[in-house]
Amino acid sequence: MTGKLLSLALRNVLRNRRRTIIAATAIGIGLAAMVFTDGLMIGMSDNLIDSVTDTWLGDAQIHREGFLTTYSPELLVDSAAEVLDRLDRDPRVVASAPRVLAQGTVSSAADLRSVILVGIDPERESRVSRIDDSIVGGEFLREEGGEGILLGSKVAADLEVGLGDRVVVTISQVESGIIYQDMIRVSGIVETGTAAVDESMSFVSAGKAQEMLGLPEDGFQEIAFTLSDRRLAEQADSNFWAGYSRGGNTALGWPDLMAQLDAVLAMSDFSTLIMAVILFGLVAFGIMNAIFMSIYERIFEFGVMKAIGTRAGRIVSLVVLEAAWLAIISIALGSLVGLAATWLVAQQGIDYTGIELSGATFREPVRPVLTLQQFIFYPLWVLLLTALVGLYPAVHAARIRPALAMRRSL
């Protein structure tokens, strides 16, 4: 009987093809909009995370406990050399870079700016961040380094200095608190598009920074690293983090390091959910309307079916199956349109380049991302929702009193 009921339901849905096509198109557009919006939000989110992690942050970082709240330069990563060695051997880690961080000032004849002075290992840093790719003038620090300083583009502009000009770097030494000053030649200008870097960072070699701060050779405040699977950074309960959070060190993924961005992304996920509820709500009423129209058109037929012995439950099943068929046709249509629209827009991308959001800047055009889940979960939602909203008209049809439905006949 189930097979016959399925066949009868399909034939009923195809009975009024124009209405079915119009209803399926409306529902399908809702699904396609959902697929596209989800793809766009994923693309936007990926773009922002890429921007943050690739530009400077890395997928994760290790600090001495308390450093991120106080930024005290004396809070050095415990056994940094050993940690770096472990990271180098860890298959889940792609690259790592140690950093020296300190607050200081950079001054020129024109002005003085407060900066974060960052000491980097040029070779390792180039594999973790994009500082080397963001040089808009001059050159990246050489391995042996020591002589030059890279200024954020905004810092250089404020100080009115260019390549080859000399600036005075002033810093307080860690142990003694003695003020250390050095005149360093500007060897490069960095422009990442990220305000946090361009407006307040200056880079010297790690050796130079350690010398200025009076730190030992393995004295680093931060180790940034990239992961082979960035999703690991979002799994705060993974034992990976515990493995690196010992000896007074704390390892954190980007969501913890950029809590504001993480919150914004969570908010955008919530917005997507709200939009899904609205879209699927519209879809639900579209389905209900189509089913009710179909029922009212066939009220006499339902009366006859009940008269000749069709149980109410079977009428409910028939109408719900009709709704399900309508959903399946809509899903096929919506998935196809959603796939095509998302793919087409992904070819060019939507240009938000340069726009900053919660400390992250769009570096590339946003390209909607297609995922298998969009073509599994959303269609499943449509199917379930259809069956659910189909229940109301189905029960209505099942409650039809044959004598009333067939008043003009038996």
**Binding residues for other proteins, per CB under 8 A?**
1, 4, 8, 11-12, 14-15, 300-301, 304-312, 314, 401-403, 406, 408-410
Structure tokens at 263: 């919150």
CB of 12 to other proteins, least distance (A): 6
CB of 405 to other proteins, least distance (A): 9
CB of 364 to other proteins, least distance (A): 53
Question: Residues 62, 372: contact at Cβ < 8 Å?
Answer: no
CB of 290 to other proteins, least distance (A): 17
* Distance from C-alpha of 261 to C-alpha of 398, rounded to nearest angstrom: 52
For other proteins, the closer of residues 2 and 176 by Cβ is 2
Helix ranges (H only) for 251-311 are 254-257, 259-297, 299-307
Which residues have CB under 8 Å from 53's CB, separation 6+?
A: 59, 226, 230, 233, 254
CB of 306 to other proteins, least distance (A): 7
* Distance from C-alpha of 166 to C-alpha of 185, rounded to nearest angstrom: 4
CB of 286 to other proteins, least distance (A): 23
Structure tokens at 136: 């808009």
> What letters, b where the CB count within 10 A reaches 16 and e where it falls short, cover 140-171?
bbeeebeebbbbbbbbbbbbebeeeeebebbb
CB of 321 to other proteins, least distance (A): 13
* Distance from C-alpha of 32 to C-alpha of 43, rounded to nearest angstrom: 16
Mapping DSSP to helix (H, G, I), strand (E, B) and coil, where does residue 174 land?
A: coil
For other proteins, the closer of residues 309 and 354 by Cβ is 309
Backbone phi and psi for residue 14, each to the nearest 5 degrees, phi listed first: -85, 0
For other proteins, the closer of residues 11 and 92 by Cβ is 11
Question: Residues 334, 341: contact at Cβ < 8 Å?
Answer: no
Structure tokens at 202: 């200056």
CB of 92 to other proteins, least distance (A): 59
Structure tokens at 258: 């950029």
CB of 310 to other proteins, least distance (A): 6
Backbone phi and psi for residue 199, each to the nearest 5 degrees, phi listed first: -95, -15
* Distance from C-alpha of 293 to C-alpha of 306, rounded to nearest angstrom: 19
> With helix as H, strand as E and coil as C, how does 103-156 read?
EEEEECCCCEEEEEEEEECHHHHHHHCCCHHHEEEECCCCCCCCCEEEEEHHHH
For other proteins, the closer of residues 50 and 301 by Cβ is 301
Give the count of alpha carbons within 13 A of 212, CB side only: 32
For other proteins, the closer of residues 15 and 92 by Cβ is 15
Structure tokens at 312: 């109410």
For other proteins, the closer of residues 137 and 402 by Cβ is 402
Mapping DSSP to helix (H, G, I), strand (E, B) and coil, where does residue 31 land?
A: helix
CB of 289 to other proteins, least distance (A): 21
